[in-house]
Amino acid sequence: MSMKMIKLMVFKRFERVWHWSQMALIFTLLFSGAAIYGVNPLISFADAVTLHTWAAIILIALWLFATFWLFTTGQWRHYLPTTKNFVQVARFYAYGIFKGEHHPYRKTYRRKHNPLQAVTYLLVKTVIFPAIWLSGIPYLLISFGIGGFLNDFGLANIALVHTAAAIAITVFVIAHVYLLTTGHSFIDHVKPMITGYDDVELTDEELAYIKADEPDLLKDS
């Protein structure tokens, strides 16, 4: 089966807005959260609580809408884990990347995330993010004096889960930014999330389908 490398719209407009808005809100939450824990002297405790609360509310709304968008557009399929090429990609990130080897994965029409990315993003979206909300919302209710029914869980235990999840997100962000500096240039990695277009391997049948039904996805259409 012949494959052609085509410049294709990989990240839709909403997906790009979602990505950059989420990034700004997560950094805002980490910044204000550090102040709440007393390790960030750049903002007062009261202002940090207010900032943290509003950023969290906006991010919750964004995630709810993004979840709706993923399932109504079928984009959720890109996050399904697969064992195909998983070992090769894991090997590349483990040591091949340090030897200057080429990335063993190429984006396809049906799968824009490599196997390791898919597993990581799925873990973040189904474990770490829910842990943030399942601990953050009770923490907020108790702090406002309207979560008495949650006291049995213990504020310290809730705070521990919330902090652990926040640390996990911080590690994910650091790893994510680091990987943007490897392989191709930083701009080459970031550009698709700005323009939406990236190089994708398409079969002749996929290319024919896109030209007929979704020509706007092609950069030179």
pLDDT in tens, 89-146: 888 888 887 777 777 787 777 788 888 888 888 899 889 999 998 888 887 777 677 7
Structural tokens at position 90:
């894991």
Q: What percent of the chain has pLDDT over 90?
A: 29
pLDDT tens, position by position, 47-56: 998 999 999 9
pLDDT > 70? residue 212: yes
Provide the CATH number for the domain formed by 10-189 in this structure. 1.20.950
pLDDT tens, position by position, 140-155: 777 677 766 666 677 7
Measured between alpha carbons, how far is 58 from 52 in angstroms, rounded to an integer? 10
DSSP letter string, the chain? --EEEEEEE-S-HHHHHHHHHHHHHHHHHHHHHHHHTT--TTS-HHHHHHHHHHHHHHHHHHHHHHHHHHHHHTGGGGG----TTHHHHHHHHHTGGGGTPPPS---BSS--S-HHHHHHHHHIIIIIHHHHHHHHHHHHHHHTT--GGGGGG-HHHHHHHHHHHHHHHHHHHHHHHHHHTSSS-HHHHHTHHHH-EEEEEEEHHHHHHHHHH-GGGBTT-
Half-sphere exposure for 127 (CA within 13 Å, toward CB): 10
Q: Give the domain ranges of the chain.
A: 10-189
Half-sphere exposure for 217 (CA within 13 Å, toward CB): 20
Contact 105/63 with Cβ under 8 angstroms? no
Longest dimension (CA), the chain: 64
pLDDT > 60? residue 163: yes
Region 188-211: mean pLDDT is 85
